[in-house]
């Protein structure tokens, strides 16, 4: 091999080795980058888990957090954003102005807290330590709870957490704390009653407060009964107030006078109806008799709403001897009520009285097919079957075996294969005697194809079974 050939070979070998070195170096760099990314991801995952656990523990223990911590030192601000530059404070609701280390540091079992200065990208200001019980330097042993309580009550409206805290104190706190809350709330109880979260505090005071406190709240709210009854949150307070004063006749009369002045407006108001219904459920019959006449005037309108319908039903239950005029108004508009989601229940109430049965039954028999085809009216037809006299039952069967004006088929077949009407036929076959259904069975014997059509229909399976059993019994 010549010198030139040797040099050429060495150069070629050197280039090959350099390429291998570059590849090896590149692979090593990729491995280092991958390892570094994995470590970063693991650290981020651990940090997120830690943040979640601390957040969850902190949220579940809000009763132990100082009353003003939501605005001052809580890690979660009212707008649900993390506060990065504040320390956490942990105190309990002690009955004394000074909070002891034992009261403020225990959460169910012996557990103390340590504090560390938060670094950027860190969430938790509080560190749980079982082995390092250090009194946090930022804790103020002489913290004035009364000042915090005043602050919390002032900022409670619209704040669910503060509302729950103050309710908790009123339910379990010392008499001084309860009186402090009451005095602060009493002057503005009307505004608290209309607040989405404040109304719960007023209800808590009415429920857990002393008799004197209940009476004072009643007197404060009395001029605003009508206004609050129309409010979606205030009506809840008024209903709780009714529960309280129903045991005190001395307070019922002035309350009734406030309701009586605006009864017609409350009967048609979507929130006021709850208040009227609560009055009927809690007050004596003589106290709420004044509701009867305005209800008659608004009967048709009320029958078409859920709670208006319940008010009428409650009046029929409470005044069976005094609602004749109300029932007659309903019956005279029965063509509107049968197909109403709520009004049909009024007709079902009315048919329980024998004096109304004939008038209602005649209308049903004259419109039987169309009523059975309606989701709500079919319920009324099904209900009246239990109250029909033998004569009316026979009339009912006579109509079923007639041809329909709509398609020429027997009305019985049309109803039996209808998604709503089939329930009427099932009920009929279950409660009518064999003697009463004989004409219907004879029709099926004369037309065997009727039974087959019922069997093949989507809604006639149960009817086919009942008819088969009755036909077999005759044979």
pLDDT, tens digit (0-9, with 9 covering 90-100), for 180-235: 888 888 888 898 899 888 899 999 999 999 999 999 999 999 999 999 999 999 99
Which region among 92-96, 302-306, 416-420 has the lowest average model confidence (pLDDT)?
A: 92-96
Which region among 145-154, 215-224, 255-264, 287-296 has the lowest average model confidence (pLDDT)?
A: 145-154
Beta bridge partners of 21: none
90 falls in which pLDDT band (50, 70, 90)?
A: very low
Q: Give the pLDDT mean for 401-424.
A: 92
pLDDT computed for residue 424 by the predictor: 94
pLDDT computed for residue 448 by the predictor: 84
Candidates 378, 372, 308; CA nearest to 343 is 308
Cα diameter, the chain: 133
Q: Is the pLDDT of residue 106 over 60?
A: no
Put simply, whether the predicted model's pTM sits higher than 0.75 gets the answer no
368 falls in which pLDDT band (50, 70, 90)?
A: very high
Average pLDDT for the chain:
76
Six token digits for residue 1: 């091999």
Beta bridge partners of 403: 410
Contact 428, 385 (CB under 8 A): yes
Share of the chain above pLDDT 70, in %: 68
pLDDT computed for residue 199 by the predictor: 92
What are the tens digits of pLDDT across the range 12-23?
444 444 445 555
pLDDT computed for residue 141 by the predictor: 37
3-state secondary structure the chain: CCHHHHHHHHHHHHHHHHHHHHHHHHHHHHHHHHHHHHHHHHHHHHHHHHHHHHHHHHHHCHHHECCCCCCCCCCECCCCCECCCCCCCECCCCCCCCCCHHHHHCECECCEEEECCCCCCCCCCEEEECCCCCCCCCCCCCCCHHHHHHHHHHCCCCCHHHHHHHHHHHHHCCHHHHHHHHHHHHCCHHHHHCCCCHHHHHHHHHHHCCHHHHHHHHHHHHHHHHHHHCCCCHHHHHHHHHHHHCCCHHHHHHHHHHHHHCHHHHHHCCCHHHHHHHHHHHCCCCCCHHHHHHHHHCHHHHHCCHHHHHHHHHHHHHCCCCCHHHHHHHHHCHHHHCCCCCHHHHHHHHCCCHHHHHHHHHHHHHCHHHHHCCCCHHHHHHHHCCCCCHHHHHHHHHHHCCECCCCCCEHHHHHHCCCCHHHHHHHHHHHCCCCCCHHHHHHHHHCHHHHHHHHHCCCCHHHHHHHHHHHHHHC
pLDDT computed for residue 42 by the predictor: 67
Which region among 132-141, 143-152, 247-256, 452-461 has the lowest average model confidence (pLDDT)?
A: 132-141
284 falls in which pLDDT band (50, 70, 90)?
A: confident
Phi, psi (degrees; rounded to nearest 5) at 372: -70, -20
Domains, the chain, ranges and CATH? 48-87+97-136 (no CATH), 144-287 (1.25.10.10), 351-475 (no CATH)
pLDDT computed for residue 289 by the predictor: 87
Q: Is the pLDDT of residue 367 over 80?
A: yes
Candidates 343, 342, 326; CA nearest to 334 is 343
What are the tens digits of pLDDT across the range 243-268?
999 888 889 999 999 999 899 999 98
pLDDT computed for residue 193 by the predictor: 92
24 falls in which pLDDT band (50, 70, 90)?
A: low
Q: Is the pLDDT of residue 134 over 70?
A: no
pLDDT computed for residue 282 by the predictor: 92
Sign of CA dihedral 58, 59, 60, 64: positive
Contact 265, 272 (CB under 8 A): yes
Residue 155: exposure state from Cβ atoms within 10 A (0-12, 13-18, ≥19): middle
Q: Is the pLDDT of residue 468 over 70?
A: yes
pLDDT computed for residue 48 by the predictor: 60
pLDDT computed for residue 475 by the predictor: 66
Alpha carbons 394 and 391: distance in angstroms, whole number:
5
């Amino acid at each position: 091999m010549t010198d030139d050939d040797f040099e050429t070979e060495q150069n070629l070998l050197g280039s090959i080795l350099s390429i291998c070195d570059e590849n090896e170096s590149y692979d090593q760099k990729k491995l280092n980058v991958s390892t570094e990314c994995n470590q970063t991801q693991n650290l981020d995952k651990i940090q997120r888990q830690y943040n979640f656990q601390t957040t969850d523990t902190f949220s579940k223990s809000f009763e132990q957090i100082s009353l003003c911590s939501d605005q001052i030192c809580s890690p979660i601000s009212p707008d649900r954003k993390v506060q990065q530059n504040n320390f956490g404070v942990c105190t309990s609701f002690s009955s004394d102005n000074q909070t002891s280390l034992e009261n403020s540091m225990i959460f169910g079992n012996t557990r103390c807290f340590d504090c560390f200065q938060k670094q950027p990208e860190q969430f938790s200001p509080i560190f749980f330590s079982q082995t390092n019980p250090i009194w946090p330097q930022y804790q103020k042993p002489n913290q004035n709870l009364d000042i915090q309580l005043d602050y919390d009550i002032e900022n409670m409206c619209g704040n669910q957490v503060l509302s729950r805290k103050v309710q908790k104190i009123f339910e379990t706190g010392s008499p001084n704390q309860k009186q402090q809350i009451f005095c602060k709330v009493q002057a503005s109880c009307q505004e608290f009653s209309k607040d989405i979260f404040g109304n719960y505090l007023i209800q808590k005071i009415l429920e857990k407060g002393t008799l004197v406190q209940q009476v004072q709240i009643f007197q404060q709210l009395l001029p605003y009964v009508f206004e609050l009854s129309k409010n979606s949150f205030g009506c809840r307070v008024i209903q709780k107030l009714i529960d309280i004063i129903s045991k005190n006749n001395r307070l019922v009369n002035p309350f009734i006078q406030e309701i009586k002045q605006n009864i017609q407006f409350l009967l048609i108001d979507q929130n006021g109806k709850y208040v009227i219904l609560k009055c009927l459920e809690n007050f004596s019959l003589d106290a709420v008799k004044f509701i009867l006449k305005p209800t008659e005037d608004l009967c048709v309108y009320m029958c078409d709403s859920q709670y208006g319908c319940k008010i009428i039903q409650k009046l029929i239950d409470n005044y069976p001897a005094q609602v004749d005029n109300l029932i007659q108004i309903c019956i005279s508009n029965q063509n509107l009520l049968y197909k109403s989601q709520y009004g049909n229940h009024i007709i079902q109430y009315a048919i329980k009285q024998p004096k109304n049965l004939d008038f209602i039954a005649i209308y049903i028999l004259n419109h039987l097919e169309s009523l059975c085809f309606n989701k709500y009216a079919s319920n009324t037809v099904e209900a009246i079957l239990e109250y029909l006299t033998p004569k009316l039952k026979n009339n009912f069967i006579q109509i079923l075996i007639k041809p329909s004006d709509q398609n020429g088929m027997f009305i019985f077949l049309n109803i039996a294969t209808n998604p709503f009407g089939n329930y009427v036929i099932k009920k009929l076959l279950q409660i009518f005697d064999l003697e009463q259904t004989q004409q219907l069975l004879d029709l099926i014997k004369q037309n065997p194809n009727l039974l087959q059509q019922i069997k093949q229909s989507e809604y006639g399976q149960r009817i086919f079974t009942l008819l088969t059993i009755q036909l077999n019994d005759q044979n």
